[in-house]
Structure 1
Amino acid sequence: MITMTQSFKNFWKNYFNFTGTATRSEYWWMALWALIISIIWFIATIIIIIFSLASQDKVNIKFNTFAEFIHNTPSTLIVWCLLSLLILLAFVIPLLSLTVRRYRDSGLNEVSVLLLFALTLISSWITSPNDSQNTFFSIYFSTIGIVSIIELIVTILPTQQLANTKVIGKNKSYQNSEL
C-alpha cells in the first residue's frame, strides 16, 4: 500500500502521465492532500484579504473600469491572487492525469475513460440559466449529481474491478482471444 508522502511524490512525478494507472490509496491520499492544501490556502487568502483591505484608508467598492479596480486594490492582494492562479494552474494537469489513471486502474477501457472524463468536464462547465427555467435547473443538478456519483463509484472500486464488464471494461478475455 502506498503512503501519503509517496502519493504526493507520485502526483508530481506523473505530471503528464495519462497512460498508467493509479491505485485507490494513491488517488485518495492525494485527494486528502488537496483538501488540506485547499483549506490552508483558503484560510491564508481570507487573512490576506482582511489585512489588505484593513490597511487601506478608504475602500472604494464601485469600479468603472478594470484599471480602476487594479489601481484601488492593494498590491499584496493582487500578488496573492496571481500566485493563487499560478498554483491552481500547476495543479490542474496532474489532477487530471491522476483521475484518468485512477479510471484506467478500475478497469475501464479507453473509450469509457474518455467518455466519463468528458461527462465530468461538461457537467462542471455547464452554465446555469436564469431562475425562470426551473425544469432546466432540475436536469442540470441531477446531471451533475449522477456524474459525480459515477465518478465516486469508479474511484472507490478496486483495481481491475470493471475489466470484464461488457462495453465499458477492458474485457481481458476478449483482448487475449484477439492476440
Structure 2
Amino acid sequence: MVGMGQAFKNFWRHGFDFKGQATRAEYWWMALWGVILGLIGLLILVAGVFGVIFGEGLSMPLNPFYANLPMIMIIMVILGLVIFIPAMALTVRRLRDAGLKTWIIWVLLVLYFVLPNPTTRVNMEMNLFTVLERLVALIIFICTVLETDQLKNLKWIGREEMNLTGQNGANLSDNELTDTEVTVEVLYPKNSDEK
C-alpha cells in the first residue's frame, strides 16, 4: 500500500504520465497533501492581508514578510500552475484505475473545465449548465473513491480487457497456458562431404 511520503514522490515522478494508473491510496494521500499545503498557503496569505489591513504591513519596511506580500502571492500562483498538470495526470490515472476508458475520462475532464463554475457566477440561478457541472464533478468524485477496476466491465464506458481465446474458443486468463502443436523444422548447413 502506498504511504503518504511515497504518494508525494510518485506525484512528482509521474507528473506527466497520463497513461498509467494510480491507486486510491496514492490519489487520496495527494489530496491530503493538497489540503495541507493549501491551508499553509491560505494562512500565509491571511496573515499578510491582516498585516496590511491593520497598518503593520507596507508601512513597516523592517518586516520583510509584509513588504514582500505581492511577491508571495505571485509565487503561490506560480506554484498552483506548476501543480496543475501533475494533478491532472494523477486524476486521469486514478480514473483509469477505476476502470474507465480513456476517452470517457477526457470527456469528463473537458466538461468539468468547460462548463461554467456556479461559484463564479453572480446570478446563482439553477440552469442546465450548473446542473451538468455539478453532475460531472460528482461523477469524477465517485470514480476516484471506487476500487481498482470497479467500472472496467461496464458497457461503453468500462475499460475492457483483451480476451485471449484458446483453440476451442474458451476464454483464457493471463496465467493459463494451452498446449499447442508446433512443427519445427531444423535446417543445418550442408557440409562439403555430404551431397
Q: Settle same-fold status: TM greater than 0.5.
A: yes
Higher Rg of the two aligned structures: 2
Can you list the C-alpha shifts for 1:122-168, whole angstroms capped at 9, x where unaligned? 2355896663x84xx33233222211110111101111111111000
* Aligned equivalent of 2:135, options 146, 159, 165: 146
Partner residue of 1:38? Answer: 38
Q: Unpaired runs of 5+ in structure 2?
A: 60-65, 166-195
Which residue is equivalent to 2:21?
Answer: 21
Higher RCO structure, 1 or 2 (CA under 8 Å, sep 6+): 1
Is residue 90 of structure 2 the alignment partner of residue 101 of structure 1? no
Letter in structure 1 aligned against 2:36: I
Counterpart among 108, 111, 117 of residue 119 in structure 1: 111
Instruction: Map Cα deviations across residues 87-111 of structure 1 (whole Å, 9 max, x no partner).
Output: 1111111100000000111111111
What's the secondary structure of 1:98's corresponding residue?
Answer: helix
**Distance in 1 between the 2:119 and 2:40 partners?**
29
Please name the residue that 1:162 is paired with: 151
Higher helix share: 1
Which letter maps to 2:44?
A: A
Normalising by structure 2, we get a TM-score of 0.72
Q: Paired residue for 1:176?
A: 163
Match for residue 110 of structure 1 among 84, 102, 106: 102
Alignment of 1:48 with 2:27, yes or no, is no
Match of 2:187 in 1: none
Under a length normalisation based on structure 1, what TM-score does the superposition of the two structures give?
0.78
Calculate the aligned-residue CA RMSD, in Å.
Answer: 2.3
Number of residue pairs the alignment of both structures matches = 157
* Percent identity (aligned): 34
For the 8 Å contact 2:27–2:94, the answer to whether it is kept is: yes
SS in 2 for 1:16: coil
Secondary structure, aligned partner of 1:143: helix
Unaligned runs of 5+ in 1: 58-73
